[in-house]
Chains A and B, each alone.
Chain A
Amino acid sequence: KNQVEQSPQSLIILEGKNCTLQCNYTVSPFSNLRWYKQDTGRGPVSLTIMTFSENTKSNGRYTATLDADTKQSSLHITASQLSDSASYICVVNTGFQKLVFGTGTRLLVSP
């Protein structure tokens, strides 16, 4: 069964600190993996995308990694800001019509 598991479920960090969110997937076939940021009450917005051959991708203070052998990905946030408070969703694309979504990590950045 295709699954995407994320950890931790929720996280509280102080403003300015770094954090890393984890994503493990058992999805086949694999086309690409995206990290989305979802602000409360809003639609998700894509942060990064990685294909099978890419193992790191940066978007400003966000850096995603992918290990296709172990089927793990991480999202590292550097120098966190209050606006980083959101849910972060790991999504795997099988290349067909459907995406497989993780349940997300809820991040709260505290002043």
Chain B
Amino acid sequence: SQTIHQWPATLVQPVGSPLSLECTVEGTSNPNLYWYRQAAGRGLQLLFYSVGIGQISSEVPQNLSASRPQDRQFILSSKKLLLSDSGFYLCAGKQTGGPYEQYFGPGTRLTVT
């Protein structure tokens, strides 16, 4: 099975500062990768997904961007954080080729102050 690593676990950043969250995957090659955000008391919102290196699909217009520089590395970034970017960010990976399970990372709690 896959293992999804995320860091940092928690982050407190001031408004206007940049952001970089990293996700790496073990246990599979060429996975589909996903970034989700979970606001307090809300469901998971898909932000980005990637089916391969350099291939990024954005689900919602926002202040964030994603990149996939390597097969098993997925990065979530922002040039200038907004208060509304606060939330719990989850990276997930899925084996390609079918409706396989998405494995989730431990998440990053981001607080923008």
Binding site for B on A (CB under 8 A): 31-32, 34, 41-46, 49, 89, 93, 95, 97-99, 101-104
Would B43 and A99 count as touching, CB distance under 8 A?
no
Q: Please provide the 6 A-B residue pairs with the shortest distance between their CB atoms, ordered closest to farther.
A: A43-B104, A103-B43, A31-B99, A101-B44, A101-B43, A93-B99
Closest to B42 in A: A103
Closest to B94 in A: A97
Closest to B49 in A: A97
Known: A98-B49, A103-B42. A43 touches B99 (CB 8 A): no
Known: A34-B101, A43-B4, A95-B99. A104 touches B43 (CB 8 A): yes
Contacts of B42 in A (CB 8 A): 103
In this complex, the member of A32, A46, A89, A99 whose beta carbon has the largest number of chain B beta carbons within 10 angstroms is: A99
- B101 interface neighbour in A49, A89, A97, Cβ under 8 Å: A49
Closest to B101 in A: A46
A45 to B105, CA, bound (A): 9
- B107 interface neighbour in A32, A41, A102, Cβ under 8 Å: A41
Interface size of B by CB at 8 A reads: 22
Contacts of B104 in A (CB 8 A): 43-45
A93 to B100, CA, bound (A): 9
Closest-CB distance, A54 to chain B (whole angstroms)? 14
In the complex, chain B residues 64-113 whose Cβ is within 8 Å of any chain A Cβ: 88, 90, 92, 99, 101-102, 104-107, 109
Contacts of B53 in A (CB 8 A): none
Closest to A99 in B: B102
In this complex, the member of A42, A43, A98 whose beta carbon has the largest number of chain B beta carbons within 10 angstroms is: A43
Would A89 and B43 count as touching, CB distance under 8 A?
yes
Contacts of B44 in A (CB 8 A): 44, 89, 101
Would A102 and B43 count as touching, CB distance under 8 A?
yes
The reply on B32 being an interface residue by CB < 8 A is yes
A103 to B38, CA, bound (A): 10
Contacts of A45 in B (CB 8 A): 104
Would A43 and B90 count as touching, CB distance under 8 A?
yes
Contacts of B46 in A (CB 8 A): 98-99
